[in-house]
Each structure stands twice: as structure tokens, then as C-alpha cells.
Chains A and B, each alone.
Chain A
Amino acid sequence: MSAHSSAQTPARSFSQVRNELLDRMEGFSPAYVAAVAACAAVVAWALFAWGYQIAFGIGHAGIRRPVYWGFYIVNFVFWIGISHAGTLISAILRLTGAGWRKPVTRAAEAITVFCLMIGALFPLIHIGRTAYFYWMLPYPNDRLLWPNFRSPLVWDLTAIMTYLTGSVIYLYLPLVPDLAEIADRSTGRKRRIYRALSLGWTGSDRQWQALERAMKLMAAMILAIAVSVHSVVAYDFAMSVAPTWHSTIFAPYFVVGAIFSGIAALVLVMAALRKAMRLQDYLRESHFANLSKLLLLMSLVWLYFTFSEHLTTWYGNFPREINVLNVREHGFYGLLFWTMVVCNFVIPLVLIGISRLRCIPTIVVSSVAVLVGMWLERFLIVVPTLSTPPLPSAWGTYMPSWIELSITAGTFAAMALLYLLFVKAFPIIAIWEYDEGIPAR
């Protein structure tokens, strides 16, 4: 592995690293332009689908009684879950002083911000009167009343606003010295823009010390916020009286799933960056190996939670809960259920757990499997419960329409698009945190 060979070869100097990373931001290859165009087209189609739903009625989506929550809430939970990538990798590794995090953190923090932006959009897509979403905010209004602070949705709003604010700052602060570097190297309007964005960073020790102190505090806070955010997302379900939703372990279960899918997303993004931006020397095999071990650990923790949740339901044998369990584990949903188990547990266990099979391609395959599995997990939490309410006369089914499918596809494209734009505007690896272990060419 290249990490070991770096001991022999002389390390690359700071200026080499800086110039190399900044050069990667320059120029647009035909493949890049094609990728941006493709993503933008899918996003535009999704926006059209959303506009169609707003203009002609939300009934054009597939949600129906009794499955009042469908793909939109599944996607909401899924995307908010993935946003935990940045938090875990960056904050935990920063707090524990793990040196290998340095080339990984910014890629992870950017995932957090973009996923949150996408995830926070889903409640707006989901609600029947999108134009009035701001009625959830507390402000003096002509309806002469305040929002209902007992509603978990208001908790959600507060938590996501806090998390978004925190993670944007958490991404931005360590970006500031790099913005000053870009300004230093550029001229004209670009220089002025980056100069302004860098807030007049000069590199004085006062600034470095304040930055380091702030990042330590922020890492601790963002960790607590991230855990709370996905707990609150879980409370959306756990505060209800619906069978199998009203569960005390839902908050930690959701947090574990969130971190699990977040690591998978980070691996996927890193593999794409490594290939597309030729960052093999920065995002090394050792990084993937470390992340894959975290992924395997979270897979086992996830299995433990899933097992506990299902075993207690099955053994408890309460009719309403057993009905949900039967729907979830048999028939079409049963197919999805066992696919989920294979994706989230069997594939990572085999491909990562067996060390001879562990390499970047298998880690990437496991990550894709985990993302699929975790999406299915969210789906299997939301839909079977709603389709099996306590009174059997109200049981129903759910099938998404082209609108839900388009919007779901659009969010994946939006994620890719935001990332494509981000890597051209900002260095995706923190230059100032440059790792001494990068071998010279």
C-alpha cells in the first residue's frame, strides 16, 4: 500500500501539494461538463415533477390512505441520515486526534451540508400546502397564534436549523485559510471574491490559535447536535401510537443507521473523487481500509439494533405489532426486507470482514450495498406500519408514482451536482492540514 512506501520516498513539499490541489480545481474536462449537464437535467426534471405536484395536486403522487407518508419521508430520513458522514468522520476523528482524517474531513463535511440541504427540502415537498410551510415558524402573524411546540415536527425544524447552521460553519471555518491561499494565487475578480470569502485571513498565530480552538469546540458541539438531530427524526416516529413506531430504542437505532449510511456515502464520494480528480496519493488505500473497518463495525451495531427491535416485537406477539411484522417480512416487502439484511450485513461482512477480499473495489461495492440497504430500511420502517393500522378495515397498500420516483432520482442527481460544483470552487482536501506522509512523485 502506498502509505507504507511513503516511508522510503521523500515527502512532497507544502507548495507542491498546494499547487497540485489548486490545479485540480482548474479547467473543465469534457467528462466533467457532461456529468454536470446530466445531473442538471435530472434535477430539472425533478423540479418539474415537484412543480407539477404543486400545481395539479399532491394526489398525483402515489401516497394514499392509509400510507399518508411515503417516499418523501423515506428520503427525508435517508438524506438526513447520510449527513452524519461529515460529523462522524470529522468530529470524532478530530476530537480523538486521529491524524489520518486530514485528507478526508472536508469531503465528509461537504456531504453533511449538501445532504442536509436536500433532506430539509423533503418536508416541503411532502406537505400538502407547500406555500405555507413557514407557518411552522414562530413569528407574530395574522393567524394570531404560535406554532405547536409539542409537535415533533417543530422539534425537527429546530434541530435541522441548528444542525445546518452548525455544519455550514463547521465546513466554512477550516476552509478560510485555503480561501486565502486561492486568493493569493489568483487575480482580478476571482481574487476579490476569495479575499472577501477568506474574511481577511492573514495567517497570524492569533488566527491559527483561534481557529484551532474553535474547531475543537465545534467538533464537540456538532457531535452532540448530530446525535440529537437523528434522534429527533426518530422521535417523529417514536412519539406516535402507531404499532412498531412507538419504540424506545428508535432514537439510537436511527442514529446508528445514520452513521452507517453516512460512512458508506463518504466511501463512495471518496472513491469517485480519487478516480475523477486523480487523488490516489491523498486518498490512499489505508483511508479506505480504516473507513471500511468503521463501516463493518456499524454494520454489526446496526444488525444488533435491528435484531433487538424485531425479536422483541416477534416475542411480544401483540396483534397490532405482529401484523406489521408479518407485512414487513412476507410477500413483496419481505423480499425488500431480506434484500436489506443481505445489503447491510452479509455483503459488508463478507467483502470487508474477510481481509483477503478487502480492497477499494470491494469496499465501494459494500458501500453501495449499504446505501441501498439503508434506504430500504427507512422504507420498511415508514410504509409497512402505515399500511397496517390497528383496525384491519383500513389496511392498504402503497405504490409510488412517477412524481415520487423523479424527485427521488433528482435528489441523488442534486447531490452529485452540488459536489461537482463544489470541487471546482473549493479545494476538496484541506491544503493547510496537508499531511506530511504524501510521497513525492
Chain B
Amino acid sequence: MAEQAEQRDPRSEQRVPQWAMAIDLDRCTGCEACVVACASENNVPTAGEEEAARGRAKHWIRVDRYYEGEFPDIRVKFRPVLCQQCDSAPCEPVCPVYATYQNAEGLNVQVYNRCIGTRYCAANCPYTVRFFNWFTPEWAEPLGLQLNPDVSVRPGGVAEKCTFCAQRIKRAKLDAAEEERELADGDVQPACVSSCPAEAMVFGDMGDGDSKVSKAIASGRSGQLLADLGTRPRVFYLEKAD
């Protein structure tokens, strides 16, 4: 389990939240509502049939399927895979231009404007959750009218990935500041979390021991994807021990 030294904002002296996500695999039905919600929230363009077949489709979150048993006695397990926001992210140190780095809130941030497109980060991501803009993105009319104004549209030639809906985190912080209160548990809901009909996903501050996500992580059912690599992911998968 990731241990994070408590961080405080140098100006406000407030504790800096440590964002994390827990996904209950026993609840996930593999409906892919998160995939659709993510694409529309984050202005992820569709690739088109031909390009998708060539491996150019972008899914910041995807649902991996694992099959157990022999047909017809088959059991399918689903695992939504998004950027694991690793604390020791392999993608970060290899970028020559600091286009991706670890911020104080534990987010593995991606700065599109700095990216020169070496694709080193993508080649070095063990989860293969980093994507590349092979072309300048286009939206068929009228899809271009539904772009989320809070999220930048990435130009061709840069890498991108799940941000834990950084724009929603920012919005929640601004709202809290306006209402002169502290950020409460549940204020931030990334698109995938809010769209999950099975309520399999929990998002929150794992630095706060009372938060839902902290409790989920401490439930004894939690584990990390490819934990042996030592990447210290911020995404925890809850699973009944077999």
C-alpha cells in the first residue's frame, strides 16, 4: 500500500489532498458506461473504424476482460484500467521535457503544451494507458459543439492519458473556496465514478483516514495492478480473495 508523507500547502497551511481511487471488481459489470463518460467528459476524439483497427483508438479508461473456465462454463471478470497515477511512475523520469511529472496531490499530471511527442512515456507505461494523438483531432458535426470547455483539446503529436478528471478536482476546490468551506469527501467525482451504475468506483482523498476511499483501501480486499513492478499505483482494486 502506498504510504504518503502528509503534505501541506505552503500558503494556506492546509493539508494537500492525496487523490486515489478504489474499484470494486466484484461490483463491476463491465457495462463500459465509464468508458463513454470519460470520452465525452475529456474531449477524447473517436478514431473512426479504420484507424481504430490500426490501434489508434483512444480510451483513457478501458475495461479488460479475463475469462475463467472452459466454454460453456465460463466466467468473465472485468477490470477497468485507467492511468494508475503511480507514485513511482515509470513514464515520468523518461520524458525529456517534463511534460509529465508528479504533483503534490499525487497526480501524475500531463502537460500537453510541453510535450514534443517522443512517446517514451507510452513505451514505458506497463499498463499501456498512455495514448498519442496521431493526427490533429477532428469531430464530425455536430459533435464538435458538445466539447467540454473545461478540458483542452490536444493537438496532434502529443501524448495524453487519464487525469483523474483534473478539471473536476479544480472545480470542486473553487466551489469549496467560494462557499468558504473545506473540501469534503465526495466533492470530487471523476466522470467514470459518477457514471458507474454499479457504484463500483470510489474516488477521494486517501490522506484522510475517514474518507470512503481510505476505508475501501483498508478493507482488506484491496490490491494494486502489477504491484510487483513497484510503481506504487494510486488506483486500488477490491476483490474477494479466492
Q: Do A and B come into direct contact in the complex, CB within 8 Å?
A: yes
Binding site for B on A (CB under 8 A): 56-59, 63-69, 123, 126-129, 132-133, 135-136, 143, 145-148, 150-154, 157, 236, 239-242, 386, 389-391, 393-394, 396-397
- Residues from chain A with a CB closer than 8 A to the CB of B128 are 65-66, 389, 391, 394
Report how far A58 CA is from B134 CA in the complex, Å: 5
Report how far A386 CA is from B123 CA in the complex, Å: 7
CB nearest to A156 among chain B residues: B96
Does B229 sit within 8 A of A, measured CB to CB?
yes
Report how far A127 CA is from B95 CA in the complex, Å: 12
14 A-B residue contacts at CB 8 Å? Answer: A65-B122, A68-B122, A69-B119, A129-B116, A129-B158, A136-B96, A143-B113, A146-B98, A151-B93, A239-B94, A240-B90, A241-B90, A390-B229, A391-B226
Report how far A324 CA is from B122 CA in the complex, Å: 17
Does B54 sit within 8 A of A, measured CB to CB?
yes
- Residues from chain A with a CB closer than 8 A to the CB of B136 are 57
- Contact of A396 with B55 in the complex, beta carbons under 8 Å: yes
Q: Provide the main secondary structure of the chain A interface.
A: loop
Cβ < 8 Å to A, chain B residues 125-145:
126-128, 131-136
Give 11 new A-B contacts, CB below 8 A, not counting A57-B134, A127-B117.
Answer: A65-B55, A68-B123, A127-B116, A128-B118, A147-B97, A148-B93, A151-B94, A153-B120, A157-B96, A236-B120, A391-B81
- Contact of A242 with B226 in the complex, beta carbons under 8 Å: no
User: Min CB distance, B158 to chain A, in Å?
Assistant: 6
- Residues from chain A with a CB closer than 8 A to the CB of B62 are 393
Given A59-B56, A64-B54, A65-B128, residue A391 in contact with residue B120 (CB < 8 A): no
Given A58-B157, A240-B124, A393-B64, residue A128 in contact with residue B94 (CB < 8 A): no
- Residues from chain A with a CB closer than 8 A to the CB of B159 are 128
Which of A68, A148, A240 is B95 in contact with, Cβ under 8 Å? A148
CB nearest to B133 among chain A residues: A128
Report how far A396 CA is from B135 CA in the complex, Å: 20
Report how far A405 CA is from B34 CA in the complex, Å: 39
- Contact of A145 with B98 in the complex, beta carbons under 8 Å: yes
User: Min CB distance, B56 to chain A, in Å?
Assistant: 6
- Residues from chain A with a CB closer than 8 A to the CB of B116 are 127-129, 132-133, 135-136
Which of B115, B127, B156, B229 is A58 in contact with, Cβ under 8 Å? B156
Does B199 sit within 8 A of A, measured CB to CB?
no
- Contact of A154 with B156 in the complex, beta carbons under 8 Å: no
Does B65 sit within 8 A of A, measured CB to CB?
yes
Report how far A133 CA is from B115 CA in the complex, Å: 10
Does B114 sit within 8 A of A, measured CB to CB?
yes
- Contact of B94 with A240 in the complex, beta carbons under 8 Å: yes
Does B150 sit within 8 A of A, measured CB to CB?
no
- Residues from chain B with a CB closer than 8 A to the CB of A394 are 127-128
Report how far A9 CA is from B241 CA in the complex, Å: 88
Report how far A57 CA is from B55 CA in the complex, Å: 15
CB nearest to A397 among chain B residues: B55
Which of B64, B90, B96 is A153 in contact with, Cβ under 8 Å? B96
User: Min CB distance, B168 to chain A, in Å?
Assistant: 26
Which of A63, A135, A153 is B114 in contact with, Cβ under 8 Å? A135
Does B51 sit within 8 A of A, measured CB to CB?
yes
- Contact of B95 with A129 in the complex, beta carbons under 8 Å: no
CB nearest to A66 among chain B residues: B128
